[in-house]
């Protein structure tokens, strides 16, 4: 619980800043039969990032990293929109796009676990080649589709709630159940702690690694569908550009160690929400575009410093209690809209 304290405080602080600049920031109303408000926007536009970050969390927990998720986002959206524009059903398009995503993720996993390439290099291949593949699928053009059923995934509403948020809730719940109620989370952490030792202990480390990369790509694939559905078009050049870096940042802010071996799904969700809230803050308080990146960098630096116990001890000269927080527990309630 303690580990999540700081991300929660930072998120609250960011929201407070927004309330000061935009008085009605926290108000959520029903307009045109759906929820409307800045908080809903943060959840809705943050949904793809949360998904990608969830996948990234598990990859990072095994001591790996996946740079290719941004490209998978582009490929998935491109393939789905291409299929729909060629009059394939939405269901077929979605299945094909997600199938290809899983395949690409498994390929990453194979390179890492089967061939033994370092994760950052193995996934760099798909990061570069994948964007080319997305452009190949879209023929370098922006494919515009006009299909209400497809629109639902990222831009639609179900019982007044944005459908994307519901998807995130389901994926989060399933992931939390698989990793925290079953032994899978423990196995992933064991592989991340020491792959060889876990193998000797009888864990099929390779299988686990292939699985987490496939899962990360699946999450990215769903995120790609959301992003392209939200704007009813597929943009091979720009969809999901640099989302992998935001995802890694979200995972780190959430308290998952880049060295692997332990992870916090609740922290990752908070991390992603912090990033999206920061983006919204920049738009609302009117930071000039020329200084946006600097502003973001400063906030992120402060966030990371606040979370560093070493830094806090130095600055506040505080004696830390000996007992450290145990493995993170789930916080499903945090993301409910």
Partner 1 sequence: MMKRITALVIAGLTAAALTGCGSSGSEGGGGGGGDDAIVMGFSQVGAESGWRTANTKSVQSAAEKSKITLRFSDAQQKQENQIKAIRSFVQQKVDIIAFSPVVESGWDTVLKEAQNAKIPVILTDRAVDSKDTTLYKTFLGSDFVEEGKKAGQWLVEEYKDAKDTVNIVELQGTTGSAPANDRKAGFAEVIGADPKFKIVASQTGDFTRAKGKEVMEAFLKSTPDIDVLYAHNDDMGLGAIEAIEGAGKVPGKDIKIITVDAVKDGMQALADGKINFIVECSPLLGPQLMDLAQKVLKGENIPARVVTEETTFDQEQAKAALPTREY
Residue of the chain from 9, 92, 259, 292 that contacts partner 1 (CB under 8 A): 292
- Does position 31 bind partner 1 by CB under 8 A? yes
Residue of the chain from 92, 118, 238, 309 that contacts partner 1 (CB under 8 A): 238
Report the candidate in 9, 129, 150 with the shortest Cα–Cα distance to residue 72.
129
Q: Which two tokens stand for residue 17?
A: 């800043």
DSSP 8-state code for residue 31: E
Q: Would you say 73 or 335 has its CB closer to partner 1?
A: 73
- Does position 21 bind partner 1 by CB under 8 A? yes
Residue of the chain from 78, 98, 111, 208 that contacts partner 1 (CB under 8 A): 111
Radius of gyration of the chain (CA): 20
Report the candidate in 18, 33, 61, 85 with the shortest Cα–Cα distance to residue 255.
61
Distance between alpha carbon 331 and the CA centroid of its chain, in Å? 16
- Does position 87 bind partner 1 by CB under 8 A? no
SS3 content of the chain, % helix, strand, coil (to 5): 70, 5, 25
- Does position 36 bind partner 1 by CB under 8 A? yes
Note whether 329 and 180 are within 8 A (CB). yes
Q: For the purposes of burial, counting CB atoms within 10 Å of the CB of 44, is it exposed (0-12), middle (13-18) or buried (19 or more)?
A: buried
- Does position 132 bind partner 1 by CB under 8 A? yes
Q: Would you say 44 or 262 has its CB closer to partner 1?
A: 44
Question: Cα separation of 152 and 135, whole Å?
Answer: 24
Considering only the stretches 135-143, 163-171, 214-222, 318-326, report the one whose residues sit in contact with partner 1 under the rule CB under 8 A: 135-143
Q: Which two tokens stand for residue 47?
A: 């949904």
Report the candidate in 34, 5, 47, 62 with the shortest Cα–Cα distance to residue 229.
47
CB crowding 282-305: b at 16 or more within 10 Å, else e: beeeeeeeeeeeeebeebbeebee
Provide, rounded to whole angstroms, the least separation between the CB of residue 316 and partner 1.
35
Residue of the chain from 24, 148, 207, 327 that contacts partner 1 (CB under 8 A): 24
Considering only the stretches 18-26, 59-67, 84-92, 191-199, report the one whose residues sit in contact with partner 1 under the rule CB under 8 A: 18-26
- Does position 141 bind partner 1 by CB under 8 A? yes
Note whether 263 and 60 are within 8 A (CB). yes
φ, ψ at 235 (rounded to 5°):
-120, 100
Considering only the stretches 89-97, 140-148, 180-188, 191-199, report the one whose residues sit in contact with partner 1 under the rule CB under 8 A: 140-148
Provide, rounded to whole angstroms, the least separation between the CB of residue 314 and partner 1.
36
Provide, rounded to whole angstroms, the least separation between the CB of residue 194 and partner 1.
22
- Does position 73 bind partner 1 by CB under 8 A? no
Sign for the CA dihedral angle at 142, 148, 152, 155 comes to positive
- Does position 118 bind partner 1 by CB under 8 A? no
Residue of the chain from 19, 37, 106, 261 that contacts partner 1 (CB under 8 A): 37
Sign for the CA dihedral angle at 255, 260, 263, 265 comes to positive
Q: Which two tokens stand for residue 266?
A: 């609740």
- Does position 144 bind partner 1 by CB under 8 A? yes
Provide, rounded to whole angstroms, the least separation between the CB of residue 311 and partner 1.
31
Which residues here bind partner 1, judged by CB under 8 A?
21-22, 24-25, 31-32, 36-38, 41, 45, 111, 114-116, 129, 132, 135, 140-142, 144, 155, 227, 230-233, 235, 237-239, 279-280, 282-286, 288-290, 292
């Amino acid at each position: 619980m303690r580990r999540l304290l700081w991300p929660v405080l930072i998120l609250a602080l960011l929201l407070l800043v927004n309330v000061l600049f935009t008085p009605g920031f926290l108000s959520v109303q029903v307009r045109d039969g759906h929820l409307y408000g800045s908080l809903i926007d943060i959840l809705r536009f943050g949904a793809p990032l949360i998904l990608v970050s969830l996948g990234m969390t598990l990859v990072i927990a095994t001591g790996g990293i996946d740079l290719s998720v941004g490209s998978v986002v582009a490929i998935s959206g491109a393939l789905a929109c291409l299929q729909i524009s060629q009059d394939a059903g939405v269901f077929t398009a979605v299945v094909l796009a997600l199938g290809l995503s899983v395949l690409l993720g498994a390929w990453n996993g194979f390179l890492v676990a089967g061939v033994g390439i370092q994760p950052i290099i193995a996934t760099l291949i798909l990061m570069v080649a994948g964007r080319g593949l997305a452009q190949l699928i879209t023929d370098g053009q922006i494919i515009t589709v006009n299909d209400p059923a497809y629109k639902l995934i990222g831009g639609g509403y179900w019982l007044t709630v944005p459908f994307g948020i519901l998807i995130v809730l389901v994926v989060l719940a399933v992931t939390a159940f698989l990793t925290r109620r079953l032994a899978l989370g423990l196995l992933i952490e064991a592989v991340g702690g020491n792959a060889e030792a876990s193998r000797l202990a009888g864990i099929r480390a390779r299988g686990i690694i292939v699985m987490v990369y496939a899962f990360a790509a699946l999450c990215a694939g769903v995120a790609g569908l959301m992003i392209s559905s939200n704007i009813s078009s597929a943009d091979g050049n720009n969809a999901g550009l640099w989302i992998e870096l935001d995802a890694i940042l979200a995972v780190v802010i959430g308290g998952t160690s880049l060295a692997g071996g332990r992870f916090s799904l609740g922290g990752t969700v908070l991390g992603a929400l912090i990033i999206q809230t920061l983006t919204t803050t920049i738009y609302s308080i009117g930071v000039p575009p020329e200084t946006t990146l600097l502003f973001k960098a400063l906030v992120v630096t402060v966030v990371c410093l606040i979370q560093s116990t070493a830094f806090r001890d130095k600055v506040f000269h505080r004696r830390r209690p000996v007992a450290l927080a145990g493995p993170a527990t789930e916080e499903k309630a945090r993301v409910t809209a």
